[in-house]
Amino acid sequence: MATKIDYYSVLEVSRDANGDEIKRAYRRLAMKYHPDRNQGDAEAEGKFKEINEAYDVLKDDNKRAAYDRFGHAAFEGGGPGAGAGGFDFGGGGLGDIFEQMFGDMMGGKRGGRRSGADLQVQVTITFAEAFAGVKKKITVPSRVTCESCDGTGSADKDQPPETCPSCHGAGKVRAQQGFFFVERPCPTCHGTGRLIRNPCKECHGAGTVEKNRTIEVAIPAGVEDGTRIRMSGEGEAGGKGVPAGDLYVHVSVEAHPIFQRDGSNIYCRVPVRMAQAALGTEIEVPVVDGSRSKVKIPAGTQTGEHFRLRGKGFSVLRSSARGDMYIQVVVETPRHLTKRQRELLEEFEGDASGHAKGSPESTGFFSKVKDFFEGKL
């Protein structure tokens, strides 16, 4: 039989180390030699087994006392510290290591569930409501605290729920399989950590009942499509003294037939007749807050040119700043001309065809085209 290494040496602690020092040493070494971090390393796997075996003994005051007195013989052949691996209801161990290494990746929480379930609802608002902010009343189907038992789950208010004797309130138990511990919800209390001797007849001991609630949610000015608003404690009631979960409101903003949004800025495409763009004009445009604003269009304005109205955009969340509104001009070419209109345009085209300054973009473009065909470009 192979000689076993001293458990204190395995954990690299002195014999007078206290429980916290032993636990810290175990966590450090277990993370260092964990199989997931040393895949295919047989030596690390063996070291990991030794670390867990040593910690299983030294973390328990009775086992540690037996080991200090009899050494490894205390756990062999029916010695005073011998005992088959079974359910472990204490703290520490592999559960702590996995929580440190992987966090709450699967949504688990130490000591049972700490809150009721979170809820999600969708709310659709108009473009104008997103601009100004709005309060919306929403109906949320959820579980709420039972009024008959005040959420305790017990019909007798003088007899509150008892701590579960099986898991000592942890809500979970650990079964040892080889050198691993498998964690499961406590079968006695179903993961709640508490027992109720006389369940409430209204909620049957759950501490909550199903009910539709009407909640008012304040949607701030400047909210964007897809924003998620968290309302703490407005989710499902936890029951039996457990706090309620959270409510997440997903905001959807309807499209507007006139305005488009880009962050905190608003864009509005405004058609302008060809003659207006050529001669210059002043137009009146709507603003999303319901007001109107005048915009001067200078002579010779081209399609795509922008004119800015400062501070007429959306509010910026968590800031006093505001965006701007941009008027984008679209020069409209007339259709269905009268005979007289066609004659005037033909006359205008004849006068303008030789006038490069009147149409600098087209003149410059076709000049480059000519150079291209002549091999100059």
Binding residues: 146, 149, 164, 167, 186, 189, 200, 203
Contact in structure between 284 and 294 (CB atoms under 8 Å):
yes
Residue 120 β-bridge partners: 248
Contact in structure between 341 and 273 (CB atoms under 8 Å):
no
Nearest CA among 15, 183, 2 for reference residue 102: 183
DSSP letter at 222 equals: T
Nearest CA among 271, 291, 284 for reference residue 331: 271
- Residue 310 structure tokens: 């400062």
Tell me the chain's radius of gyration from C-alpha atoms. 38
Residue 22 β-bridge partners: none
Contact in structure between 162 and 194 (CB atoms under 8 Å):
yes
Please give the annotated binding residues for Zn(2+), written as ranges.
146, 149, 164, 167, 186, 189, 200, 203
Contact in structure between 317 and 223 (CB atoms under 8 Å):
yes
CA distance 81 to 76: 8
- Buried/exposed 36-54: b ≥16 CB within 10 Å, e otherwise: eeeeeeeebeebbebbbbb
CA distance 117 to 245: 5
> What's the residue count for the chain?
377
